[in-house]
């Protein structure tokens, strides 16, 4: 019996968590080899199954000059995986949403699409859970330096609007459904960037609806945190 994509994905989340926790324990996190080193535990896990046909940095099926971090096939099932490693520097939010949108636009009925986000536990909380949407950057005329303005009131979290970070009491997946249109900065930038890359017959619409499902409770044990979502356009 073939293993399901969800079985693989949960095991990938676990092996990435173990790998990163080990790396953080034995090395200076400032010299962590970022996303490129994550291919070793992931590929090692998948290649143990002889029936799996694995591709890394494979061409995107819908966009020219774009690649997917991982793709694998097993007995008619196709899985795509994009990942991001969060480091103790300012994160590029657009890159995260580009990954999500590229996955969402894969329209193969056989395809299962997942996004993995990982980092050191404290950095994950700082950069992902505590990035607010009420921050505004303003450049002062006198110094030219960028200052951060924060309005009063309740703090709202950018990523909480788009991803579920908690499972329910039964540890079932948490789901978020979001509609994106050209008034959304991230989608508008994606549309401008990727419209020229569309393959023949494809067009990026003015709005889409994306569902993300948190596949298991976020593991923040030891020193690393790993979250993984299934991505679907609906």
| pLDDT of res. 60 | 96
Q: Residue 34's pLDDT is what?
A: 60
| pLDDT per residue as tens, the chain (234 positions) | 344 778 888 899 889 988 888 877 777 655 555 677 888 899 999 888 888 899 999 999 999 999 999 999 988 889 999 998 887 666 788 999 999 999 999 998 889 999 998 888 877 777 676 554 434 444 444 444 433 344 444 444 567 778 887 765 555 567 889 999 999 999 999 999 999 999 998 999 999 999 998 887 776 666 788 889 999 998
**In 3-state terms, what secondary structure has residue 229?**
strand
Question: With contact defined as beta carbons under 8 Å apart, do 5 and 79 qualify?
Answer: yes
> In the prediction, which pLDDT does 122 show?
78
pLDDT for the residue numbered 29: 57
From 137, 108, 120, 117, select the one nearest 12 (Cα to Cα). Answer: 117
């Amino acid at each position: 019996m073939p293993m399901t994509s969800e079985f693989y994905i949960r095991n990938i989340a676990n092996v990435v968590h173990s790998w990163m926790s080990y790396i953080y324990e034995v090395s200076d996190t400032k010299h962590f080899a970022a996303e490129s080193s994550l291919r070793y535990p992931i590929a090692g896990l998948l290649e143990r199954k002889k029936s799996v046909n694995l591709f890394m940095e494979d061409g995107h099926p819908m966009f020219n000059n774009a690649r997917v971090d991982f793709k694998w096939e097993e007995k008619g099932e196709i899985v795509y995986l994009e990942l991001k490693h969060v480091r103790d520097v300012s994160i590029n939010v657009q890159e995260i949403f580009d990954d999500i949108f590229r996955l969402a636009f894969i329209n193969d009925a056989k395809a299962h699409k997942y996004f993995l986000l990982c980092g050191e536990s404290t950095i994950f909380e700082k950069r992902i859970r505590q990035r607010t949407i009420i921050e505004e950057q303003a450049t002062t005329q006198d110094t030219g330096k960028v200052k951060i303005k924060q309005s009063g009131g309740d703090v709202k979290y950018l990523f909480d609007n788009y991803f579920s970070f908690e499972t329910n009491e039964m540890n079932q997946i948490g789901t978020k459904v979001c509609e994106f249109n050209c008034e959304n900065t991230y989608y508008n930038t994606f549309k401008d960037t990727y419209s020229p890359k569309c393959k023949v017959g494809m067009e990026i619409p003015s709005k889409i609806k994306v569902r993300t499902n948190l596949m298991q409770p976020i593991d923040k044990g030891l020193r690393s945190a790993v979250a993984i979502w299934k991505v679907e356009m609906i």
